Structure 1
């Protein structure tokens, strides 16, 4: 069965017909990586997790303007893909933004706050309300340094805002957990607790 069909039938995600089979393979690889992280120590369901069925992510090509920026991006629960440049790590990062929006108090929590990115930021000793927009807040790294709190181990994650900090931390806990554990243990511990919360909420 092709990745496109698995994503549609099992995860109940919507995949735009214009996305290539190779891109669909990458998206499925990212989904499996996230579910392996989510269900560690538990038996995985035969189909996709209830969490991702509930979200129903829509993957589609970016509008022409975004091709110039070369950035993939998320709006609500839709992920816009630029060209064929999507790798598994980036797909996991974008899934984190969808989770931030879907599980937040605002459907655009990656901009306005209120999602799990704010919770993670607060857990390490910062006030997310100080940063707007959440995905690219001026002075974010300077403020975090002044607070003497744990920094994101990636340049992208520590320099832009709480939403990108969250998405990069999520990418690492899914794809390279040992590195996150050694370089940002507070974030690692927060994600472990959050993972258990997600299981209790969606996967009973």
Structure 2
């Protein structure tokens, strides 16, 4: 699954969507820690990440924060739930891990673009299909790969990720303890 997110974002059919967002979206620079979307609030926009990184987190009923995903330069970000059902709140908070440059666009403008013709409607289908495949692959990886394999996959996707996030965050994302990540790192150094 190396670079699956990048393959998803660079899907040939999605190039037209990327170009539409670059041409009709609004350029913005988000500072490290700034939120693009907030859990349980309706997020009415999506974005193309020109340069940077976002962390997806979800707070559980006890107030514990879980890191459930990342998106990187050259990828799309936003609340798929809201894109599919306009009044549905976001399931996650999307926060800049470092200073990040994006082009964001209201979902209403995207819907107008998608509704223009059969070809652009197919782009929405492709976007949803690719998002589903991304999530399905992630689920399969959680069940079928070792923590070491998951850690290596993360490093393959973003080799410099350790410069931006803590060991505790990596552990949360992979569903293991920080001690497990420390052991994996020590083994890799040998």
What is the TM-score of this pair, normalised by structure 2?
0.26
Indicate the structure with greater helix content.
Answer: 1
What is the TM-score of this pair, normalised by structure 1?
0.24
